[in-house]
Structure 1
Amino acid sequence: MENLLDDVFILFGIFAILTFFLKVMKCLKYLILTNWYGVPNSFFNSMGEWAVVTGGTDGIGKAYAHEFAKRGLNIVLISRTKEKLIKVADEIEQATRRKVKTIQVNFTKRDIYQHIEENLRGLEIGILVNNVGMMPNPNPCRFLEMADIDKTINDIIAVNMVSVVKMTQLVLPKMKERQKGLILNISSGVANTPCPVYCLYSSTKVFMERFSRGCQAEYCSEGVIIQCLMPYTVTSKMSRIKPGVITQMPEDYVRKSLDCTLVGDRCHGCLPHEILGYVYGKIPRWIIYSDEAQDKMVDYVQNSARS
């Protein structure tokens, strides 16, 4: 019995050392790829002539559209507001001299994908950014406290989940045929663990993460890279949080995240968010799940939005 216990402790020790070693190696890989090497513009250009960005008129989506245009790709902007589409398209064309095509659709609708497919026909799409997303309410709240709950449930599933699957279905076949392509799925750091007061939103982002990583496993041998990015706070109209050490400006986050393209099938996109993800994962669940913690989260977001 004593020998058995010794063997068990030895195995646990070996497992702990291996786990620590793997985390160190992952950290070194991240630092080397993002701080010393990065990803050259030629890599993105080699994927194809066009980058398609959903939700491309605000926040992270707009920043990706501008950044890929600067790196030499033509851009397809897909969003719901015609005036914003025209404005952002003009900005990109004037700043980069790249071609910009716009598609006006509302992703809460399920009958839009034939229209999108028709407008994408004939384009050599090298990059797809599945960025469009929505939150149930401006402020975090418990599930039953969501405004217009039936409509909200349908809309958030259509925008955060259906759009990712359908857009991937539209562009992946040609990428597979050409044996190259890049799909970036913008999930969220709140998908790491169950997230009270964001439970519906975070659950849809979990779906995106699992779908993304599953597709990567299925199609990586076909030359297609599918990566799930899981940012925490990035300044936008949706987050309503001011920039800081953790909260990134969209342009900064996008530049850093593109240097993470070869890190793996999921990534937080920048070092502050990688550290936050690690720390958040170590907090005991009973603390996060307490009523007091949930109330403090609601107050924090509301106060940050006002300041």
Structure 2
Amino acid sequence: MEQLFFFVGLLVCLLCLLKCVRLSRYLLVSFWKVLPGSFLRSMGQWAVITGAGDGIGKAYAFELAKHGLNVVLISRTLEKLQAIAEEIEGATESRVKIVQADFTREDIYDHIKEKLKGLEIGILVNNVGMLPSLLPSRFLNTPGEIQSLIHCNVTSVVKMTQLVLKRMESRQKGLILNISSGAALCPWPLYALYSASKAFVCTFSKALHVEYRAKGIIIQVLTPFAVSTPMTKHLNTNMVTKTAEEFVKESLKYVTIGDETCGCLAHEILAMLLNLIPSRIFYSDTFQKFFLTGYSDYLKRNTSNR
């Protein structure tokens, strides 16, 4: 019995040490390391961003253009894409292509493939995603948008990766950033479908990273928590809730740190703290009731009227 306690204690200490080492790496990168734009440009001439009409996708488009990459913006609303393209071309020397596509459909990928033909794509940002319109909520209480959510959150990542990865493999270089969510780090009751769809993105990304890292391709999944975007109803920003621009600028520092990152130091610390909550407490009816009520109150207090 004493030996058992010894080995269990040793295992816990090792796990804590690993977490401290990981956090130390993030601290080092956050305060001292700046990824040079030349690294991003070395991946290829063009960056493709899905869900580029708003929020995180729009921020990635601007930031990558500032680093000297040409950008392809893919989203549903043509007017938004045209306006963003004009902004980017006016603020940078980068070229911009736009592709109108609705990722809640599955018949769009031949059209996208045709539009991307002939481009040297060095970076793909699989950002497009959607939340059920009623959250937090039990699964049976959500509206009938299940297939649309799966197409947008799951199919889009698989299909877009399939479109660009083959050419990255032939050139022996490339960077794919898959935007998941902090809700993917463990099952989230009241967010069941969204959490599961984002967990797929995590598993898919990390498996592909192992398959293709020897070919010079980085495939990284990002699991942010609160970011103020139209999808999150413009939450007010603070030390934890980041603007899309803040999140994207910081996340690009971490593209060489490993196959998974929360994208910013504050969210990395939050993930570590949430991981300390025992599952029997996290999944208890009392905690879930508290979370449902507390989150609704938080949204009311912190949502801007924009």
Q: Does structure 1 conserve the Cα–Cα contact (< 8 Å) formed by 2:181 and 2:198?
A: yes
State which of 248, 255, 269 in structure 2 corresponds to 1:254: 248
1:72 to 65, 68, 72: 68
Cα deviation, residue 302, structure 1: 4.0
Cα-to-partner distance string for 1:9-55 (whole Å, 9 max, x where unaligned): 33223323322221221112222223212311111010000000000
Alignment-derived partner of residue 18 in structure 2? 22
Aligned match for 2:146, one of 123, 144, 153: 153
Secondary structure of 1:109's counterpart equals: coil
Q: Which of 225, 239, 252 is equivalent to 2:232?
A: 239
State the partner residue of 1:292.
289
Query: Counterpart in 1 of 2:303?
Result: 305
Q: Name the SS of the counterpart of 1:197 in structure 2.
A: coil
Say which of 57, 60, 68 aligns to 1:61: 57
Corresponding residue for residue 85 of structure 1: 81
CA distances 1:181-200 after superposition (whole Å, capped 9, x unpaired): 00000000011111122111
Matched, 1:196 2:194: no
Q: Indicate the percent of aligned positions where both proteins have the same amino acid.
A: 48
Runs (5+) with no aligned partner, structure 1: none
Distance 1:285 1:297 in 2: 19
Q: What is the DSSP-based 3-state SS (H/G/I as helix, E as strand, rest coil) of the residue aligned with 1:283?
A: coil
Q: Say whether residues 1:6 and 2:2 are aligned partners.
A: yes
Q: Which stretch has the larger CA shift, 87-96 or 272-281?
A: 272-281
Q: Deviations over 1:236-270 (max 9, x none)?
A: 11111111111001111001000011111010011
Alignment of 1:145-184 (within 5 A): 145-147=141-143, 149=144, 152-184=145-177
Structure-2 separation of matches of 1:306 and 1:36: 34
1:216 aligns with 2:209: yes
Please tell me whether the aligned partners of residues 135 and 191 of structure 2 are also in contact (alpha carbons under 8 angstroms).
Answer: no
Q: Deviations over 1:44-99 (max 9, x none)?
A: 01000000000001000000000000000000000010100000000000000210
Cα distance in structure 1, aligned partners of 2:134 and 2:64: 29
Structure 1 residue 138, shift from structure 2 partner: 5.2
**Aligned partners of 2:3 and 2:139: how far apart in 1?**
47
Match of 1:117 in 2: 113
Match of residue 133 from structure 1: 129
**Contact persistence 1:53–1:65 (CA under 8 A):** yes
Specify which of 87, 91, 95 is matched with residue 91 of structure 2. Answer: 95
Per the alignment, residue 268 of structure 1 pairs with 262
SS at 1:259 equivalent: helix
Who is 1:225 aligned against? 218
TM-score by length of 2: 0.94
* Residue aligning to 2:200: 207
SS of 1:176's equivalent? Answer: helix
Distance in structure 1 (CA, Å) of the matches to 2:56 and 2:304: 21
Distance in 2, matches of 1:242 and 1:188, equals 18
Three-state SS of the structure 2 residue aligned to 1:7 is helix
TM-score normalized by the length of structure 1: 0.94
Q: Distance in 2 between matches of 1:275 and 1:24?
A: 10
Which letter maps to 1:292?
K
CA distance 1:138–1:248, change in 2 (3 Å): farther
Correspondence for 2:29 = 33
Please tell me the residue identity of whatever aligns with 1:102.
Answer: I
CA contact (8 A) 2:44 2:123 kept: yes
C-alpha deviations, 1:200-219, integer Å up to 9, x for none?
A: 11110000000000100111
Task: Look up the SS of the partner of 1:39 in the other structure.
Answer: coil
- Report the CA distance between 1:306 and its aligned residue: 6.0
Q: What is the rounded CA distance, in whole Å, between the counterparts of 1:24 and 1:288 in structure 2? A: 23
Contact 1:195/1:202, CA 8 A, preserved across alignment? yes
